[in-house]
Amino acid sequence: MPALKIFPDLKPIHILGLMSGTSCDGLDIAMVETRGAALQTRFKVRATQSIAYGAELTDQLLHFISKKEHSLKEISQFNFFMARTWAGQIEHFLKKYNIDKGHIDLIASHGQTLWHQPDPENFLNEKISSTLQLGDPAVLANLLNIPVVGNFRVADMALGGQGAPLIPYFDWVFFARFKKNILALNIGGISNITYIPADGSFEKVTAFDCGPGNMLIDGAMQLLYNKPFDADGAVAASGKNAGMLLNHIKGLDIFAKIKPPKSTGRELYNLNFIRDITRFAKKENIGAADIIHTITRYTALAIFEGYKNFVKHKIDALAIAGGGAKNSFLQKMLREYFGEIAVNPTSFYGLDEDFKEAIGFAILANETIRGNTSNVPSATGARGKTILGTICWVQKF
């Protein structure tokens, strides 16, 4: 049984990492030049772009995904449609940066998540947990004539894991070289953290979803201010803490108290959750800015408590990526809770906080084509390590 070593370890290869999030607003592309693998990985980000789908297509995609019932025909068409859309966006990206297509060795495509269910539920008399990302990697590969690695989450879930989070492997690859105890924090819709020990030991890496990221803040801003988000935390900064509301939110957040491994999506921190907060606030005469302030504070607190309760190690630094890295009031709150610990965006370490996931999946694909595993079983709960992603090869002439 030969190992899968398509590329010699020392030759640099060029990978396009693609991330298409659940918000369906567009595709993040990062062109990453990599060399080596695992802790010997060296990489440079050569170009990045976030390409919006446009409001009309975003609406159509969100509508499609949130519908209750689908025909097999439209599921099948969606799978091809998304890959075609991304192929067009990649052509645009390559043209913008004047990059020859033949220069790209590999694409790492996360795919569009249509379903993700780590907890098993009944299907034809069996308990089945499953995950479904569409936007077919073989379609993408053939339209561009570039090999594609996709469907990263399936293998881990087949081994009883949550299929998430997967970025902790990349956190380990990237942050271990700094030889500090670092907590890598990503604040997307959900917040998640990865602890990377100063000695680089893979076995000590700890990672899980903490709780709400921007999801509660954004949801409350839409409800109270009819704005998509709190730019730089200005509204939160103008309000003050409402202690009773903070305690109320703490009580509502049953996910934060669960012991890892754990992962969550939009199931808990949804409109019902936010309406519960605003109802309580109304009853207690708490104003809108104070609500946003308190939710923002809670978001920071849940991250800190996730760290305090479930990471059994002291840390030297907190490195923030994701949309939340742009909310300076949220960062201020994090500094308050984390005290002496250095709090910085990941760009402080040379990692673009806006493209961390796209870069991360490029690094995961780099492991895949070298035949290396890249799940973190302590983070996902999988029975063992596994090679993530399916490989769609193409013939180059």
Q: Please pick, from the candidates 117, 238, 344, 378, the single residue that binds a copy of itself as defined by CB under 8 A.
A: 117
Q: Does 6 bind a copy of itself (CB under 8 A)?
A: yes
Q: Of 308, 293, 317, whose CA–CA distance to 185 is shortest? A: 317
Q: Does 124 bind a copy of itself (CB under 8 A)?
A: yes
Taking the least distance from each CB to a copy of itself, the nearer of 118 and 219 is 118
Q: Does 4 bind a copy of itself (CB under 8 A)?
A: yes
- Helix or strand or coil: residue 105? coil
Cα(64)–Cα(79) distance, rounded to whole angstroms?
Answer: 12
Q: Does 380 bind a copy of itself (CB under 8 A)?
A: no
Q: Does 151 bind a copy of itself (CB under 8 A)?
A: yes
Q: Does 128 bind a copy of itself (CB under 8 A)?
A: yes
CA trace torsion 393, 85, 103, 350 (10° rounding): -110
Taking the least distance from each CB to a copy of itself, the nearer of 38 and 132 is 132
Binding mask 347-376 for a copy of itself (x = CB under 8 A): ---------------------x--x-x---
Q: Does 55 bind a copy of itself (CB under 8 A)?
A: no
For residue 206, give the DSSP letter.
E
Q: Does 166 bind a copy of itself (CB under 8 A)?
A: no
- Using H for helix, E for strand and C for coil, what is the string for 119-138? EEEEECCEEEEEEEEECCHH
Q: Of 388, 34, 341, whose CA–CA distance to 193 is shortest? A: 341
CA trace torsion 238, 241, 244, 250 (10° rounding): 100
Q: Of 9, 396, 368, whose CA–CA distance to 153 is shortest? A: 368
Which structure tokens are listed for 28?
A: 């993040």
Contacts to a copy of itself by CB under 8 A: 1-2, 4, 6-8, 57, 60, 64-65, 68-81, 83-84, 102, 105, 114-115, 117, 121, 123-124, 126, 128-132, 136-139, 141-143, 150-151, 154-155, 157-159, 368, 371, 373, 385-387, 389-396
